[in-house]
Amino acid sequence: MFMRPPPAPARRGLSLSRLNSTRRPQLFARNPPLHSFHTSNHRLLTARVEPPLRKRKFSHSQDIHSSNFRRSLATAINDPLQQDGVEMPYKHMQSHVPNNFLQSIPPRLYDIRPFDPTSPLLVRTNDDILPRSRTNLSGIPGGTDEMVSLFDACLQVGKLDRAALVLTRFTDIRALQGHELIELHNQYLRAAIARAFDKPDSKWAQSLHKWYETQIRAQELPQTPETIACMLKVSLLSARGLRLRRLVTRYMDMMPGDALYQVLSMVDILTQQDFGTITSIYQPASDIADEWGLTPDGKEPQSLNAEDETTELSDAKTASDETPEVTPMPQKGGGLKSLRAVLSFFDTIKGRDISQLPLAERREIQAQLEKDCVDAAISRWREEREALNKMGLNTSISKTALNTQLYEWQCALESKLENDFALFDQSEEREKKKQADFDRCLYAPFMSQSNPSRLAAVTIISVLNALSSVIDKGIQLSTLIGIIAKAVEDDIKFLKRQELAALRRPQYKKGVHKSQNGPINPAEAQPAEAQSAEAQPEDQLAADANTESNVIDAATYDIRSWPVLIKTKVGVALLSGLMECAKINVVQEHPESKTLVRQTQPALAHTMVHRKGKRVGLIMPNKFLVDIMKQEPPADFLARHLPMLVEPEPWTKFDQGGFLEYPAQLVRIKHGEKDQRIYTEAAMERGDMEQVCKGLDVLGRTGWRINKPVFDVMLEAWNSGEEIANIPPLNPQIPLPEEPEASDNPLLRRRWLKAVKAVENAKSGLHSERCFMNLQLEIARAFKDQTFYFPHNVDFRGRAYPIPTYLNHMGADHTRGLLRFAEGRELGESGLRWLKIHLANVFGYDKASLKERESFVMDHLDEIYDSATNPLTGKRWWLQAEDSWQCLATCFELKAALESPDPVKYVSHLPVHQDGTCNGLQHYAALGGDMWGAQQVNLEPGDRPADVYSAVAELVKEGIAEDLKEDNIIAKAVDGKITRKVVKQTVMTNVYGVTFSGAKAQVQKQIDALYPNITKETGIPVPVIAAYIATKIFKGLSTMFRGAHDIQYWFGECAGRVCRALTPEQIERIAAGEELSPPKPKKKTGPKPRSTSTNKKYKPAPPEQLLDQFRSTVVWTTPLRMPIVQPYRKSGTRVIPTSIQNLTLQMPERSDPVNRRKQLQAFPPNFIHSLDASHMLLSALECNEVGLSFAAVHDSFWTHASDVDVMNRVLRDCFVRIHSEDVIGRLAAEFEARYKGALYLAKLDRGHPAEEEIHALRKERKLTMKAELLEEYERMRLLNSEDPKEVEKGRSMATPTSIFQDWSTPQPLSSISDIAAVGLGEITNDETTEAAVEDDYESDDGGLSTTEDFDKADLDNEVTESGKIKKVEYNPERTLFESELSGEAKEAIQRSKAKSNLKAAGTKIWLPLTFPEVPKKGDYNVERLRESQYFFS
């Protein structure tokens, strides 16, 4: 037992002169991210009493007096998270697992985990609209999210005075709760202490003590152990003698009871030396030291510098070959040069295989490639400028020297930003601020986290990249500002990540982290929130695990991304600077004198246009800049989108995985969508995302190499400039139509202009496609000797995608043909057979039996050999294939195998595909148990592959035959013209929610291609014919998949009810009067508001105001336990004044009402997507477990030819495992639990039996909608009470709902018209569909409105309702003005209004949110597909 030494005199405080020489604690978190403190568990946010920490045990050999002894968390308690130094997850092992399950063998990674649908993950968010006040005189904004982001940015750049102003304003407006505000104060105190080491100030300690008294204690904020630890640190650094004793005693006395343990556990604030001083002064702390069994010492910390270890690239070379260069497109822009500069590294290692190097060297090379292209771009621009100067030239003599002009832009913008930086402090200190000063006060802390040089380069690169896609039309100002701000934000995050990595790197030496007080385990170097969690007693952790709830509180605010206001101000500041500085040197020939004229013109200009009745700002590039950029797309930032040279990092957090240096997100989320990230992070904390993350890791670990024979042929074809396979020609020969002679008919010239524009668009499209392929071939050429990998992430539905965008296996035919597996496998008999079948599949002969496909290949061996031997000079048989380049790759592989001494021993690297038969319909057939549908999509065993597209085509033909009996003119026009190709795309996309207008466009495209003269022959417009055929396709699908049709209706009804529901929490807030009255800003003196809200939802009539509270989105859990949150909401708008123009921007918030129609119509296809994504990831996990190489393109799965039989078994097993469970029943149970206690607004159809009684009751009582809601909520509470008297009282209450329930009729459908749009094979109404898919208010559509939309909608409706069509004169060239004169437009509008009024009719009542009975399943048994050889083939 260690004895505590006699009390020592109080340690002297550190004088100011010693501050700079004192070593700062290495684990001291100067400015940890604020979001790390917004945990769902508020255990650490109050100073309540905690159980005492367990006594630490030390071996007698440990010298606690030595300098190596350290009082760390790892030794303070027994860490339940670690076993033998390995971090062990624990949370997810406690939820939804039966007791007897833990005693059995652990589940395999590819097994479907137990999931209790009655206890789903629920994220409780604060739906209240955060208060937003005007900007005050100090330039502090009034929005809570903006203030928190500004506060964090001020801490990052050391502007503590500005951070203090933000905290003061938070105190004034009472926007945050006490436990949230104290966390911001703690951050402020940490930053102030950290600055004391760098910039000592004689008054710093006094000011902090004053701040604590006036801003924390006086405001009665709930202090935390962190607060007290910070104040103790201030005292220890500044005071001495009796004052130090008094301060330590005072602050320690503020902690109630055993909360002292938590204070002393703040090892990232208080060092071992501090601990010794405190225990020598404060007796209770000394008792704690006795209980822990340690005697602190006061030795100064020691540190060891890690040794730098460097290695050089191995000189081992593979057999190198001189590969011809890719002939570039005409070089007038900097894009291709940018790419080649990025890839120049590979030229230095030509012929060397990096995969043979040690892992550490490969990771260093990969990190170097990822490291930012910004500096590389600046260097490249500078080099070209210097090269011209050496030749005695300047950039004005040639318009082709874009890079040199970009360097001029860089220098000019950098200089301007340096001047702006110098004005930041002046604007903040100026008493009477102008608009420019207020703007600088907002964006200065954010831009100060970078430097003028990087900001200028990022701005230039972002603008050029954004303009490249819409270069002829210009780009919307709001869009361009968002792109610039996002690029700057990402770049600053990248710099922070690099800075943190640089700080950590010297602290590690051979896996051991040397801290200031001795060696600690690397696992201890964790963020503050992780350490806080580990600092809890073991008993407390166990108790928390046992009582873990499925309800998680979300943070009130989130600063991981900049608010819209901040992004707008930053983007405008940089864009306006670029527009001022960016000039382009133009050299033109004078039209008369023919001399060269040099002129400097602005590169960018701002203009206003009218679109949909709104003035929209556009940024237009100079026409000479357009000419340069048209030649090729820019290619900066490319290194962040290239394949990786090492295996991707495993996914461990939402933003940790994939690339080594550049941050990526696990789930692809659009700007402003927060729900999916909140749910995903909560699921990861519980361990629910393990299978999804591990599945993505499996996909990322698959190694790839370039197929050199295919690449050589492709390169030769490319350099020839000819149109070969899907390579566009270098100079496409598309003749222009002859210009018509002068005529009185203006339509003739209009048609000619339209045809000319179509030719120009076609040429431009081919050129753009060729430019993009140019980039892909350059990347392939650079990586041709390397093994590389594709990191993957998922979209919000769980579908996996490779993150590198330019070259990956999800690309077009030529990119797939270029890729092969890095690892090879011997073919074997089975592999040789599957290689032949694969060749038949990619050729297009995939509807025959497997034996017939083998025979097809053997019958064409001569053509196959010729294709492999003389691909461009022979018969070119491979060009007849549907997938020509993949066919050529297979020809090379098969020829090499057959020519080898033993074909079955040939080591093959070619991926062989197994594709599902319309995979969405396969899932629907399994869900609905449709025997007929299962047969059509190969779930049922058969001798030959079934073809659902041909089956639907036959049903369409049967429908046409019926119409022929009635002498239908359209049936006569299309008789004999229905083929599989006509219906294929519509059948394929119908399951994923294609609209009727979309289906009609698909059919029209096929009709135009197959029968270009059909209108001349029949006199019927193609759109009318397409609408007729699309109707027949939809009808055939609804007949074939009856069970799936019923399930889709059930999906739609459930989503409709959810989107019209109010949760119990919302109803309680409404009852308290909180929900319907958004807080109004207080009247304050100060400047005019910097931004104003124009969201009309804040001023609705009372009924509409209640309807705006519908915020419940559709959420469900996949079989792999990934939560899916549909993001569709009706975002409000906000006017933000800027120096360029006032911008009206959407402000997405979690408190926005849902977009009910989008939610309803998107749910069925999104649910099916989540199922096929689960099937793919589950298959990836099992294939990895059995040792297969695996890749996937959604429903196309790839592996080696020899492993196809094994993969086929895995695919069937995983599909059966998913559908052997009651998927729909589990979803229904999850919905019941997730939305328990909610009320939804239902609508009774006109003529319902209860309608009269409800109207009579309402006439008598005259209650508002809100009053009826609260009354019904109270009635439900009474009926669910355990008190019989309350139950009886509830039964006696008369409400519209009780009247409806007395009739004992089924609950009404939410909206028959909306639900009809989701049914399989149902025809949607064009008007509702267009409303459902309408995007932002600032649409890109423009030009003169025509009546084509009106006419086609009317024709569609008449065709779809009767299957016939009246003789209608159809003229798509007629303008809206002409149709108004004829009265047709007015008639169409009146019909539309009549339909809307009819749909709006009905009685609305509040009903308990329950869900309809799950549709009865059919007779098909999914186990039968195990015997189906064509399920995937």
What b/e sequence results for 367-379 when a residue is b if at least 16 CB atoms lie within 10 Å of its CB, and e otherwise?
Answer: bebbbbbbebbbe
250 Rama sector, left if φ>0, alpha if ψ -120 to 50, beta otherwise: alpha
CB-CB neighbours of 591 under 10 Å:
7
Rounded Cα–Cα distance for residues 287 and 265 (Å):
15
With beta carbons less than 8 A apart as the criterion, state whether 814 and 881 touch.
no
What is d(CA 1000, CA 1359) in angstroms, rounded to the nearest whole number? 12
Query: Cβ atoms within 10 A of the Cβ of 329, count?
Result: 19
Q: Which amino acid is present at 1012?
A: P
Catalytic residue among 79, 274, 439, 1195: 1195
Pick the closest to residue 1252 from 1195, 1196, 1303 (CA basis): 1303
Rounding to the nearest 10 degrees, give the CA dihedral for residues 175, 177, 180, 186.
90
The set of residues, in sequence order, having a beta carbon less than 8 Å from that of 1058 and lying 6+ positions away, is 1112, 1113, 1114, 1159, 1231, 1235, 1240, 1409
Would you state the structure tokens that stand for residue 44, as one six-digit string?
């650490």
Tokens of 157: 């750049």
Contacts for 371 with CB less than 8 Å, ≥ 6 apart? 498, 639, 661
Helix axes 690-701, 1156-1185, angle to 10 degrees: 60
Q: How far apart are CA 260 and CA 1206, in angstroms?
A: 61
Nearest-angstrom CA–CA distance, 803 and 652: 17
Mode of pairing for the β-strands spanning 122-124 and 551-553: parallel
User: What separation in angstroms does the CA of 878 have from each of 78, 555, 1262?
Assistant: 67, 58, 78
In DSSP terms, 724 is beta-bridged to 727
In the block, tokens 């206001």 appear at 565
| ∠ CA 1193-1196-1200, rounded to 5° | 100
Clarify whether 1203 is annotated catalytic: no
**Residue 501: left if φ>0, alpha if ψ -120 to 50, beta else—which one?**
alpha
- Whether the CB-CB separation of 598 and 398 falls below 8 Å is answered with no
Pick from 1262, 1268, 1260, 1252: nearest CA to 1302:
1252
Nearest CA to 1129 out of 749, 772, 673, 722 is that of 673
Catalytic residue of the set 553, 712, 915, 975: 915
Of 984, 1158, 1243, 1352, catalytic: 984
Angle between the N-to-C axes of helices 564-581 and 452-469, in degrees from 0 to 180, rounded to the nearest 10: 90
Q: How far apart are CA 433 and CA 427, in angstroms?
A: 7
* DSSP tally for the chain: helices H, then strands E: 56, 33
Question: Whole-angstrom Cα distance, residue 406 to residue 460?
Answer: 8
What CA dihedral angle connects 1387, 1391, 1393 and 1394, to 10 degrees?
130
Enumerate residues 6+ apart whose C-beta is below 8 A from 347. Answer: 782
Does 984 qualify as catalytic in the annotation? yes
Contacts of 389 (CB under 8 A, 6+ apart): none
Please state, in angstroms and rounded to a whole number, the distance separating the CA atoms of residues 464 and 460.
Answer: 6
Q: How far apart are CA 658 and CA 699, in angstroms?
A: 11
Taking Cα atoms as reference points, which of 1276, 1318, 1315 lies closest to residue 1293? 1276
Q: Catalytic positions, please?
A: 915, 984, 1195
